[in-house]
Amino acid sequence: MAERVTTGISGLDKMLFGGIPAQSQVLLTGGPGAGKSLLSFEYLYRNAKAGNTCIFFAFEEDPKDLVENAKSAFPELTDIDEMIKSGRLIIDREAPTGELISAVGTEDDVFRFGEILAKIENLIRSTGATRVVVDSVSILGILVKDTSTYRKYMLALITNLKRLGVTSIMTMEMENPDRDKLTFRPEHFIFDGIVALYQSGGSTKRRLSAEILKIRGTKHSFTTAPYDVTSSGFRILAAEDIAPY
């Protein structure tokens, strides 16, 4: 059995039959408000607590705002600042969204994309990080208009992260948050795994559920599981909580 990297989120680890296979690059997709950034943050926080060096690459949110949002969502996680000060949880901002979008359609767009990938790799090497989040790769898709070039760079990013030995989660906006309207784009298939966060029902009574769509080369749950964001982290009610895996 492949070595597993626990997410530290009990229900998710059970759905993954113990965790993410080491050195896998997993896509976390969902609509706005599904909790992609928060789940990714919790994955790094739990791993930092376990002694791993973790990097959160924030492309769409200021690091200060990201941390404050995590503290607000998870008030029982009282040592977030301690994890950051220790250097085990690194929050890195590549560039403001506006700066990235301003390069679209110019001769600098592909160069800027390559520059971003190089910085990601250099920071991982210099810190010895083994757990990484990229939030989100949707903004990188805006940067390069040509879809084939974008997919080539995404493949390069995934290949480089695997070569560096990191286990990563990358977030991406889902075109429709309802499971019944799920669609896939070609770049989805280059990831080792895909986790989807769904939202269904009306705005006043949303139902949240998670599903492991694929994890390459290993077993995983095939059921959808309701989840909630609590003061102490994500609570995912996996079927494996009832039936041992």
The CATH number assigned to the domain holding 222 equals 3.40.50.300
pLDDT, tens digit (0-9, with 9 covering 90-100), for 113-142: 778 888 899 999 999 999 999 998 887 777
- Residue 170, both tokens: 């990358």
**β-strand partners of 143:** none
User: Residue 31: is its pLDDT beyond 70?
Assistant: yes
Is it the case that residue 144 has pLDDT exceeding 80? no
Look at residue 245 and tell me whether its pLDDT is greater than 50: no
- CA pair distance 80, 73, nearest whole angstrom: 12
Mean pLDDT of 161-182: 84
Counting residues of the chain whose pLDDT is more than 90, the rounded percentage is 60
Q: Report the candidate in 165, 131, 168, 121 with the shortest Cα–Cα distance to residue 51.
A: 131
DSSP 174: -
Is the pLDDT at 64 greater than 60, yes or no?
yes
Structural domain containing residue 76 = 4-241
- Count CA atoms within 13 Å of residue 45 on its CB side: 22
Provide the domain count of the chain: 1
Residue type, 199: Q
Strands 233-236 and 20-21: unpaired
Q: How many C-beta atoms surround the C-beta of residue 119 within 10 A?
A: 14
Note the pLDDT of residue 148. 81
Strand, helix or coil at 150? helix
Q: Is the pLDDT of residue 39 over 70?
A: yes
Residue located via tokens 């009282």: 78
Percent of the chain with pLDDT over 70: 83
Q: Is 91 in contact with 84 (CB distance < 8 Å)?
A: yes
